[in-house]
Amino acid sequence: MKTKNKLLSIITVVKNDVINIEKTIKSIIHQKNQYIEYLIIDGKSSDGTLQRINKFGNKIDKIISTKDKGIYDAMNIGIRNANGKYIGFCNSGDIIKFNSLKTIIKFLKKDIDVLFATVKRNYLGTTIIKSGYNLKRLNYNFDFATAHSTGFYIKKKFHNKIGLYDLSFKCSADYDFYLRIFKLKDLKVMSTNRDKIIGEVQSGGFSSTYSALDHLVEETKIRIKNNQNIFLIIIIFVNALIKNFVKYLKKL
C-alpha cells in the first residue's frame, strides 16, 4: 500500500491487549482518508492480539510485530517507520472520535509545529475533559496539556532534530520529550476547541502500572537531566511528596 507523502501518521502501539485493540483500530480506519497513514506496532503479542490486528490488514498501512524494550521503544519504532509529515499516537484501548481526524487535518494544513487536541481522560471513578496547554506550567507541573495518546500531534522533523523518546525513562519519557521540544524557540503551537472532543483515553493504561512514587522519582530525574533549577526541583519533589501523603491519609 502506497504511504509516501502523507500528511499525518497515526501510530498505535500494543502488546497483549486483544480485548481493546479492535475498538482502537475501528476508531481510526473508519475515518482514515488520503492524508492519513496508519501504523500498528505490536510487541510480539501472545494472546491473539496480532491475529485480531491482521483481520483489518487491508485497512492498515504498516503492521510491525517485533520484540521491543517497552512502550517508548515501540513508539520509536513507529516514528522511524512513519512517512507522514506529522506524528500522532492512539495507543491500544484509546480511541479517536468519529470525524475528529478531519478536524486534526484542518489544523495541520496550517503548517503548525505542534497541536494539542481536546481529550476525554478516564480515571478510576472519574472522567475529565482536558483541553489546551500552558507551557509555563510545564516548568513545575507535567500536567500542562491534554494527553500524549490522541491529544498530541507534532512534525516528524522535530524528532529528527532533538531525538526520539529516551528509553532510560520507563514511565514518563513523553515528559522528557516535552521539556526538550519546548526549549526550541518560535514553535507554532495550537490547540483544538474545548467543545470538540478529539480523543478518549481509557483508564488503567500503561502509566497506571507504576506507583505514584515511581512517577515522582522518574519525573525528578527528567527535570535534572534537562538542567532545571535544582532548588525548583527540590520544591516540586517535596510538594508532590506532601500531596501524595495527604491522599494516602484520606484513604485510611
pLDDT digits (tens, 9 = 90+) for 65-88: 999 999 999 999 999 999 999 999
| 223-231: average pLDDT | 97
Distances (CA, A) of 246 to 94, 126, 239: 31, 19, 11
Task: Look at strands 95-96 and 86-89 and give their pairing.
Answer: unpaired
**CB-CB contact of 10 with 28 (8 Å):** yes
End-to-end CA distance of the chain: 56
Q: Which three cell numbers stand for residue 164?
A: 526520539
pLDDT band at 152 (very low <50, low <70, confident <90, very high): very high
In terms of C-beta density within 10 A (0-12 exposed, 13-18 middle, 19 or more buried), how is residue 88 classed?
Answer: buried
Exposure letters 45-78 (e unless 16+ CB within 10 A, then b):
beeebbebbeebeeebbbbbbeebebbbbbbbbb
Coil, helix or strand at residue 58? helix
Rounded to 5 degrees, φ, ψ at 224 are -65, -45
Chain centre to alpha carbon of residue 4: 23
Phi, psi of 172 (to 5 degrees): -140, 30
Higher per-residue pLDDT: 151 or 1: 151
Q: Is 87 helix (H, G, I), strand (E, B) or coil?
A: strand
pLDDT at 244 over 90: no
**DSSP reduced 3-state for 144:** coil
Residue 97 phi/psi, 5-degree rounding, is -60, 150
Amino acid of residue 40:
I
**pLDDT single digits (tens) 110-147:** 999 999 999 999 987 789 999 999 999 999 999 999 99
DSSP state of 23: H
| Other Cβ atoms closer than 10 A to 169 | 19
**Which position has the grid cell 490486528?**
53
Could you state, in order of their start, the residue ranges of all structural domains in the chain?
A: 8-209, 211-252
Q: What is the mean pLDDT of the chain?
A: 93
CATH number of 8-209: 3.90.550.10
Residue 51 to residues 18, 30, 101, 206, 211, Cα–Cα distance (Å): 9, 19, 26, 22, 32
Q: Is 148 helix (H, G, I), strand (E, B) or coil?
A: coil
pLDDT the model gives residue 127: 93
What is the pTM (predicted TM-score) of this model? Answer: 0.93
